[in-house]
Structure 1
Amino acid sequence: MRVASFILPEGTASYGVVEGDTIRDAGAGLRAKYPHLKAVIAADAIGELRSADGETLTADSVSFIPTIQNPDKIICIGLNYLGHIKETGRDRPEYPSIFTRYPSTVVGHDQPMIRPKASDKFDYEGEFAVVIGKRGRAIAKDKAFDHVAGYTGFNDGSIRDYQRHTTQFWGGKNFDRSGSMGPWIVTPDELGDVDSQTLVTRLNGEVMQETSIGDLAFKVPDLIAYVSTITELLPGDIIATGTPSGVGFFRDPKVFMKAGDRIEVEISGIGTLRNTIADE
């Protein structure tokens, strides 16, 4: 099943089931019980969306918002694809490199990502993201997938000069509306094997990144086990698993996004997260 969060034409925030080019507004019948998609996930009630009554809308009649609009935390993993580690000239890390993003830094599918006035070094990072479905602390690797509600696309838009002001990535990763998430969540039963999926990032139609999810140095169970050792994972939390090689910063010449550009992150089994770039 594919489940999206969106704003209805009259301005109400809702959620529903994606069926081809249409979306059934499951929130119409469930919002009194579950006000948003995170509440659905926390109640382990995604299955209720299958039979929920609601108007069927065309996808282009709604405005997509981040798949989880109000996550408790967005945890991002740096240097996690073997190809990307190689292009940076670094050694494979012993432990996952972790930083966080705020929900205010992320927009939904088909919404503009904002290049800030402070910098013209706005880079793309296509990523495969995990949506946590069941809370847990110190989760064993062999139980990790039991805690997954689904998967979504992510663009960890990065302001490269601010990212490198210090050894901490935070500055370059938390400009308002600089990242994106979507277009929807795909449940594990529909996606199938994670490692067999592929990720492709296109800038104005040109392929910039292309890899198998199987190239991850730390795979989904590794990340869930490690992160949950540090902090309790909660329903609706997001783990963005890292970006592959081909980012603009390591190209010669460097490639940065500018107003009017179109950036797309396509993940097999999920779909394409698409955004335009606008100046602040």
Structure 2
Amino acid sequence: MKLLTIQKNDRLTLGVQEDGRVYDIEAALKAVPSQGVTTDMMELIHSSESMQALQGYVQQLKQAGDAEYVVQEENVQIGPCVPTPGKIICVGLNYRKHAEETNAPIPEYPILFNKFSNTIAAPGEEIPLPKVTNKVDYEAELTIVMGKEAKYVSKDQALDYVFGYCNVNDLSARDLQMRTHQWLLGKSCDKFSPIGPYLVTADEVGNPNQLDIKCIVNGEVRQHSNTSDMIFYCDEIVSYISQHMTLSPGDIILTGTPSGVVLGYPEDQQVYLQDGDIVTIEIEKLGALTNRMVAE
């Protein structure tokens, strides 16, 4: 299923996208009441029973045909697909060609760092370029969304704990990031993790390490790779992290970015994001995430 959140004034409700149309679950429940169906994305991620109820309910709605609760996607204001993640864990230097372009050695273990919930932003939301930096870079990334508690899980079983996947732009202020050996400052400015538009369930995605991935800036393709270029695949990442900390439903893992970032260009060719730039992250099966950068 392609799940999304619908922004209604100051709150978010649940939607299901299919063939360019969105089932507004809150509106549907008013017209077609049903027990056990949630309108809250985070509750859905946490509960397999809620997911089963939603799947059955959407089939019921599809059989009923068009109604006022089925709307065209362009008429929906989409919110972040994981509105309140628990942990936000990131993997650095996880594509071979990206490590090579930044003259970094291939990591022996996954390089982990974290971001915070202040970085979450919605598709279409304007992203402020902080006035304390002039080197904000784009990073197209596949995000793993956990659906079950995972501790000491094997690589072979790791993906069974995944709820689904989505796009994220892991925006990075390179001057702040490199100011010290800790990357956190350059990664955790407000709205530096726009996410979405969809949270696509794992069964629909299939193998997460066979997905085309792109970043497009003002219509120009800047990054174009495949998740098969990852150094540590998604199953390895989930298993590795779970050896050291408990992963919980609603935690998200940003799996690294491919080559083509501004930082990878020769210094005299580096042009970082500017006021008005339009950045789109596009991953196969996961849709396209677009945001406009604005001066703070």
TM-score band by shorter chain is over 0.9
2:272 maps to 256
Paired letter, 1:129: T
Q: TM-score scaled to structure 2, two decimals?
A: 0.89
Task: Give the Å deviation of 1:63.
Answer: 2.2
Match of 1:36 among 30, 34, 40: 40
Contact 1:104 1:177 survives alignment (8 Å): yes
DSSP 3-state at the match of 2:85: coil
Task: Give the Å deviation of 1:231.
Answer: 1.4
Task: Give the Å deviation of 1:262.
Answer: 0.5
Distance 1:156 1:31, change over 3 A: farther
**Percent of aligned positions that are identical:** 34
1:24 maps to 23
2:169 maps to 155
Query: C-alpha separation between the residues in 2 aligned to 1:161 and 1:31?
Result: 52
Contact 1:84 1:243 survives alignment (8 Å): yes
Task: Give the Å deviation of 1:12.
Answer: 3.7
1:117 maps to 131
Aligned length: 279
DSSP 3-state at the match of 2:168: strand
Task: Give the Å deviation of 1:33.
Answer: 6.4
Task: Give the Å deviation of 1:192.
Answer: 1.9
2:64 maps to none
Structure number with greater Rg is 2
Match of 2:281 among 262, 265, 279: 265
Q: Tell me if 1:3 matches 2:7.
A: no
Paired letter, 2:263: F
Per-residue displacement from partner, 1:111-135 (whole Å, max 9, x unpaired)? 1122011111111000011110111
Task: Give the Å deviation of 1:108.
Answer: 1.2
Query: C-alpha separation between the residues in 2 aligned to 1:177 and 1:140?
Result: 34
Paired letter, 1:20: D
Match of 2:187 among 148, 173, 176: 173
Contact 2:37 2:54 survives alignment (8 Å): no
Query: C-alpha separation between the residues in 2 aligned to 1:260 and 1:141?
Result: 42
Give me the CA root mean square deviation.
1.8
Match of 1:146 among 160, 163, 169: 160
Per-residue displacement from partner, 1:76-114 (whole Å, max 9, x unpaired)? 110000000111112111110111111111201111122
DSSP 3-state at the match of 1:72: coil
1:99 maps to 113
Paired letter, 1:241: T
Paired letter, 2:54: L
Paired letter, 2:204: E
Contact 1:64 1:111 survives alignment (8 Å): no
Query: C-alpha separation between the residues in 2 aligned to 1:205 and 1:47?
Result: 40
Task: Give the Å deviation of 1:32.
Answer: 8.5
Query: C-alpha separation between the residues in 1 aligned to 2:35 and 2:166?
Result: 22
Match of 1:85 among 75, 93, 99: 99
DSSP 3-state at the match of 1:15: strand
Q: TM-score scaled to structure 1, two decimals?
A: 0.94
Task: Give the Å deviation of 1:31.
Answer: 11
Task: Give the Å deviation of 1:59.
Answer: 2.0
1:65 maps to 79
Query: C-alpha separation between the residues in 1 aligned to 2:19 and 2:210?
Result: 23
Distance 1:279 1:32, change over 3 A: farther
Structure 1 stretches lacking a partner, 5+ long: none
DSSP 3-state at the match of 2:209: helix
Query: C-alpha separation between the residues in 2 aligned to 1:76 and 1:142?
Result: 21
DSSP 3-state at the match of 1:224: helix
Task: Give the Å deviation of 1:179.
Answer: 2.3
Paired letter, 1:145: L
